[in-house]
Amino acid sequence: MIVDRSFWEEISYKIRRKRTFETKDIVERLYVITPSQIRITDHPIDRPITAFNPSMKIFGDTVKIYARVTLGYYTYASSVVEFELPFQDLLEKKKRDFEAKLILIPSNKYDFWGVEDPRVYEIEGTLYATYCGRTVSYFNPQGKTERTLPVTAIFKDGEWKKIAVFRMQEELRSFVIGDKNAFIVKAKEPLLFHRIHMLNDKFYLSVCKIPEGFFELEDFEEVIIGDNVTVLEENEFESKLGWATPPIKINHEFLTLIHGVDKEKGVYRVFAVLMNEEGIFTAVTPFYIMEPKEIYEVYGDRPYVVFPCGADVKEGYLYISYGGADSVIGIGRINLETLLDILYENRID
């Protein structure tokens, strides 16, 4: 990975010049899941208050959903449940109920106040999940830094096991309000994609190398990250950007979605990028490809939000799972050829 800041500034500048403040929504909405359809089988409070911001993976004829749920509003402490949706039911938009199991719950000082917005992805045949941990400092008025941190778990021997929390070098931690929207990509070298919020109240869409030995971890450890580069800055019409879905390998490139929040109303919208095996952007959609338009995306606990966390490819479509207005689970799809045509026409020179 290139760590020359001037190189990334040039790439960022080229992408920003291509992007405009318009939307051509090409996402076909397929399915909505409300909290009332979910029954949690391993907790006495068996109906969540909210269920949103899900990740997903397609295994043959089954879609596995990994959703963020809350059981109350007092602290909004979240956990992650897993349940299955038959792929045919998704295509037929067949409404049904789901039995879900808690798979990731608060359990240490790095996620004490909540396990949020999981990204589930596969590396060399093994499933990983990276989520936003609300740390023990989240509600502490004296603790203004490291309120959120990325935590990674691995699916091993039939269960999810937390193996790492990612932290900046000690001399920089006092400047970090939070770190989220994270996932790992094993491209030419293993990289952590994450979004840092600093004390200057700016947000940095970042990538960094993962130290050697990460994939051999057996027990939970702090993993110290450095040499972060800001790979893309927000446009003048946006207040911040965030990584949305873990990348999907398309030929020799990676396809991923990014969300942008507009300055005027705080609406969450989505655009797409391609990257090469070094994590360098190679193409971008010049417009947003998704924005809130359905009632469950426009109105909810947090109005005007579409927040993708999961993506997978099947039969010529990119399927995405997303949160609608912080209240429901949505699943949509994009014709892959249509999306790639837009990207190929907007290569970064």
Q: Go through the domains of the chain in sequence order and give each one's CATH number.
A: 30-235+302-334 (2.115.10.20)
**For the chain, first and last CA: distance in Å?**
19
The residue type of 156 is: K
Sign for the pseudo-dihedral over CA of 19, 24, 25, 27: negative
pLDDT tens digits for range 199-220: 999 999 999 999 989 999 989 9
**What is the average pLDDT across 71-94?**
96
Q: Which of 241, 234, 333 is nearest to 290 (CA)?
A: 333
Distance (Å, whole) CA 218 – CA 137: 26
Structure pTM? 0.96
The bridge status of strand 148-156 relative to strand 126-134 is antiparallel
Q: Which of 22, 78, 20, 53 is nearest to 306 (CA)?
A: 53
Q: Which of 47, 14, 20 is nearest to 33 (CA)?
A: 47
The bridge status of strand 38-40 relative to strand 98-104 is parallel
Q: Which of 186, 179, 127, 117 is nearest to 148 (CA)?
A: 179
Q: Which of 112, 26, 118 is nearest to 81 (CA)?
A: 118
**What is the average pLDDT across 106-134?**
97
Percent of the chain exceeding pLDDT 70 equals 99
Mean pLDDT of the chain: 96
Burial annotation 63-84 (CB, 10 A radius, 16+ → b, else e): bbbbbbbbbeeeebbbbbbbbe
Which strand (E) or helix (H) includes residue 283?
Answer: strand 281-284
